[in-house]
Structure 1
Amino acid sequence: MTQTSAVGALPLSVFVEGVGLLGPGLSNWAQGRGVLAGGDAYQSARCVVPLPMALPAAERRRAGTVVKVALAVGQEAVAASGFAASTLPSVFTSSSGDAINCHEICSALASSDRLISPTRFHNSVHNAASGYWSISSGAMASSSVLCAHDGSFAAGLLEAMAQVMLEQTAVLLVAYDTDYPEPLRSVRPLPDTFAVALVLAPRRSQRSLAQWQLAPGAFLSDAPTQRMDNEALELLRNGVPAARCLPLLRSVAAQRQGEVLLDYLPGQQLAVQVAPCL
């Protein structure tokens, strides 16, 4: 694995240049930052999914929830970073992809008709959000698309940090999940939609929010992952794989220094050393 060998060879070190956030009771990073820092009360509410206005009208009509939230947080993070979206390599990661579209396709296949609309088929691939991002931003750089079940955020973070180090360029990371309708929801009970985007860079700038490092030995076994102090935020962190990023975002919002343990593969955690850029 590229990221594993890179971590084993020397520390990975990146600077957080921009953040995008969208989820239940979290409308953007500016509002979410106050909540995660502990200064503002968290009020859980259904995620409000914006229209992807950066897409042409035809693509906007075809875009599902996954695409809408991925584009919203990606655009927010890139705008805050000061980088041009068209030049950034990207990493997209999701535990389930477009859950609603999957439900609709399964329903069609279980019916007597069994015809699937071209739009449903078009959106069924796991890299759909990456493709729509390329259309909306004009991005021509490489894009990686990952899935590692409940460890998808940590897997995406590893891939993005490895690319930043190896290519010495800023990289956009976008992680997202949506909830399944029934009956799939009973098997995969994600409570709501959540998405986060990060622009990670190899060098510090005036916009840098934090420095994150992975040292050799960053993969830990039998170590407890960080929990959120707020019960509702902890339910969100534990309930949606993309929201496993919340302890890491909390360290940025509260300007904390130390170690954050993230859920990765079963029985394995990822230890991220964090420090604020004051």
Structure 2
Amino acid sequence: MTTPLTAAIEGIGLWAPGVPSWEAFVGLHRGAGAPEAAPARPAPTLLPPNERRRAPDTVLVALQAAQAACEAAGRDPASLPSVFTSTYGELAITDNMCATLARAPTEVSPTRFHNSVHNAAAGYWTIGTGAMEPATAISAGQASFAMGLVEALAQLEAGAQAVLLVAYDGPAVGPLNDVLDSQGLLGVALVLARPAAGDRLAAQAVVAAGDGRGLRIGLGHG
């Protein structure tokens, strides 16, 4: 027996190097050229300039995509519960910290540790937006997006009117590159809401009973 969980997609946000928006990605997919003078680094305006300079690229790309999705949906970011999901958080800083621990443990930087944890992006988001709604952070390896989608849809099923889902990752370096297949910077965000009659763009997860190995997810037109 399966339990389908479905939601309408109210807004989409995306940022990748050379593709700074969902609209640019759609245009590229349809054969249009890449945008000219695309920014080299995401720069979410909800963070002050000093914070943007200090934050790692994975935090910036997550917040950039999240902000764009909320704008597209016409939703106040502070009003939405959020789910942030990534492979294992900030991979480059994690590699650096592990190398430092092996070489000189007393030299570990508290700031770098602060940015390495898998809920760093969720923390920056709630501070930057002033959101008091629940924020969930998930790291589940290659299943991270699927697990994040299931969590967001479950929150809708439990009574939330809309949920922000943010998936992001950066490149794996060092030994992490041997066990992970993360080769670039990407952030994607969806504002998901309870479906209503006439909604066409939908997200769906079907979770099998038992051990859950029957999980199937889909994004598309309903």
Give the TM-score, by structure 2 length.
Answer: 0.85
The one of 3, 9, 13 equivalent to 2:6 is 13
Q: Shift of the alpha carbon at 1:74?
A: 0.3
Q: Shift of the alpha carbon at 1:270?
A: 1.1
1:14-33 CA distance string (max 9 Å, x none):
10000011224432101112
Distance of aligned partners of 1:270 and 1:11 in 2 relative to their CA distance in 1, 3 Å threshold: closer
Q: Output the CA distance in 2 between the equivalents of 1:30 and 1:267.
A: 34
Q: Shift of the alpha carbon at 1:58?
A: 4.7
Q: Shift of the alpha carbon at 1:113?
A: 6.1
Residues 210-225 of structure 1: pairs in structure 2 closer than 5 A? 210-215=201-206, 217=208
Distance of aligned partners of 1:84 and 1:163 in 2 relative to their CA distance in 1, 3 Å threshold: same
CA RMSD of aligned residues (A): 3.1
1:191-217 CA distance string (max 9 Å, x none):
1111100000114499x6612334565
Say whether the 8 Å CA contact 1:62–1:119 is kept in structure 2: no
Say whether the 8 Å CA contact 1:22–1:47 is kept in structure 2: no
2:42 counterpart SS class: coil
1:90-117 CA distance string (max 9 Å, x none):
0011112001211221232233463112
1:164 and 2:110 correspond: no
Paired residue for 1:270? 216
1:206-263 CA distance string (max 9 Å, x none):
9x661233456599xxxxxxxxxxxxxxxxxxxxxxxxxxxxxxxxxxxxxxxxxxxx
Percent of paired sites with the same residue: 40
The one-letter code of the counterpart of 1:272 is G
The one-letter code of the counterpart of 2:138 is L
Residues 129-168 of structure 1: pairs in structure 2 closer than 5 A? 129-168=121-160
Distance of aligned partners of 1:139 and 1:23 in 2 relative to their CA distance in 1, 3 Å threshold: same
Q: Shift of the alpha carbon at 1:48?
A: 3.5
Mind listing any 5+ residue stretches in structure 2 that lack a counterpart? none
Q: Shift of the alpha carbon at 1:39?
A: 4.0
1:202 and 2:171 correspond: no
Mind listing any 5+ residue stretches in structure 1 that lack a counterpart? 1-7, 220-264
Say whether the 8 Å CA contact 1:90–1:173 is kept in structure 2: yes
Paired residue for 1:261? none
Q: Shift of the alpha carbon at 1:122?
A: 1.3
Say whether the 8 Å CA contact 2:206–2:216 is kept in structure 1: no
The one-letter code of the counterpart of 1:49 is R
The one-letter code of the counterpart of 2:4 is P
1:161-198 CA distance string (max 9 Å, x none):
11112214100000011112334324434211111000
1:193 and 2:139 correspond: no
Say whether the 8 Å CA contact 1:15–1:209 is kept in structure 2: yes
The one-letter code of the counterpart of 1:13 is T
1:48 and 2:40 correspond: yes
1:167 counterpart SS class: coil
Paired residue for 1:256? none
Say whether the 8 Å CA contact 2:146–2:217 is kept in structure 1: no
Residues 1-278 of structure 1: pairs in structure 2 closer than 5 A? 10-36=3-29, 38-40=30-32, 48-112=40-104, 114-204=106-196, 210-215=201-206, 217=208, 270-272=216-218, 274-275=220-221
Distance of aligned partners of 1:47 and 1:160 in 2 relative to their CA distance in 1, 3 Å threshold: farther
175-184 vs 62-71, which moves further:
175-184
